[in-house]
Amino acid sequence: MHLPFRATTSTITSTKILRWKRKETYLSWAFVLPALTLLSIFLIIPFLLAIYFSLTNQRLTPYPLPTFFVGLRNYTRMLTDDTLRQALFNNSLFGIVVVPVETGLALFLALLLNQKLRGMAVFRTIYFSPVVTPLAVISVVWAFLYNPGQGLVNAFLKTISFGHLGPYPWLDDAHLALPAIMLLSIWQGVGLYMIIYLAGLQNIPQSLYEAARVDGAGRWHQLRYITLPQLRNTTFFVMIATTVQAFKLYTQVEVMTQGGPGNSTVTVVWYMVNQSIHQLHVGYASAIAVVFFLIVLIRIIPILRYVVAAEKREV
């Protein structure tokens, strides 16, 4: 006599569960939709258009010109482009130098500023202030600092060396221009990653340090066996972020050197913008953008795979 009632109750419960799952799915899509819309407008659609334009002779001109399909001509042109080859070399050299230096310096500053001392908030603000300052403004200021006649950099070197060093034409010398931009970029970006490392340091349980001190571990052993392992994911994030920033190098070059002298500071992004806006070769610039995206993706994928593998080992 009770079987129909049980069957009805089970059916009602299943129906409620299905409705709740359906509502949960709709709610999830409602939250995701704004982000997907922005990503589609500003990332996915432009990238698909770049792929399309890279296969055409699209030009940016004030008067209409016919656009026709050219196949892989823009891609084969890149194989013989010496300026693009130099830009790839400059980006790679910039990343090789800036990524480890900026990451290590950010960790060092975070360790220094993670102390419970009076005035630490002031120092954190000072180190972080270049991050919130427009990069174009910083580039203009540093261009004055690098001035060979009246710049403070040459004046400082001359003072500490008693006149034996300088003045150096930092931005007019093919051997000094890129290192000068590297120094500016490290100074400007290290504050952001310092704050990220500070957040990671403050999330490490103090009980680990207390147990280590009880066992007689010194500061070096605590840093090596507790701090650095606990900051592994933070370090991977900082490395990925600094790598992307290194490949995105543009503003400093545009403001300070315009790719010179002698293409010594030309970067892929700067060259891509120059080809599209100044040379009006939108198709060729789109091909550069597509290939450059793949290069950056190939550079970052090994880091992401290592992070995933490390997480699986922990589980």
- Mean pLDDT on 267-291: 93
Q: From CA 84, how far away is CA 284, in angstroms rounded?
A: 11
Whole-number pLDDT of residue 1: 46
Whole-number pLDDT of residue 101: 95
Confidence of residue 12 (pLDDT cuts 50, 70, 90): low
According to CATH, the superfamily of the domain at 76-314 is: MetI-like (1.10.3720.10)
Whole-number pLDDT of residue 188: 93
Whole-number pLDDT of residue 216: 86
- Mean pLDDT on 228-236: 90
Q: From CA 95, how far away is CA 185, in angstroms rounded?
A: 11
What confidence tens digit (pLDDT) does each residue in 102-113 have? 999 999 999 988
Using DSSP's 3-state secondary structure scheme, residue 69 falls into: strand
What confidence tens digit (pLDDT) does each residue in 35-88 have? 999 999 998 999 999 999 999 988 877 677 788 899 899 999 999 999 999 999
Whole-number pLDDT of residue 125: 84
What confidence tens digit (pLDDT) does each residue in 153-177 have? 988 888 898 888 878 999 999 999 9
Confidence of residue 283 (pLDDT cuts 50, 70, 90): very high
- Mean pLDDT on 216-243: 89
DSSP codes joined into one string, 222-276: HIIIIIHHHTHHHHHHHHHHHHHHHHT--HHHHHHTTT-STTSS--HHHHHHIII
User: Which residues is 263 bridged to in the sheet?
Assistant: none
Q: From CA 31, how far away is CA 170, in angstroms rounded?
A: 50
Quick one: tokens of 277? 């806006």
Percent of the chain with pLDDT over 90: 48
What confidence tens digit (pLDDT) does each residue in 21-36 have? 888 888 888 888 999 9
Whole-number pLDDT of residue 149: 81
CA 193 to chain centre: 11
Whole-number pLDDT of residue 123: 81
- Which residues, in sequence order, are CB contacts of 162 under 8 Å at separation 6+? none
- Mean pLDDT on 132-141: 93
**Is 60 exceeded by the pLDDT of residue 6?**
no
CA 47 to chain centre: 19
Q: From CA 161, how far away is CA 103, in angstroms rounded?
A: 30
Going from the C-alpha of 41 to that of each of 38, 49, 260, the distances in angstroms are 5, 11, 34
Average pLDDT of the residues of the chain: 87
Q: What is the pTM of this model?
A: 0.85
DSSP codes joined into one string, 17-67: HHHHHHHHHHHHHHHHHHHHHHHIIIIIHHHHHHHHHTTB-----SS----
**Is 70 exceeded by the pLDDT of residue 225?**
yes
Residue with the larger pLDDT of the pair 1 and 251: 251
- Mean pLDDT on 107-134: 85
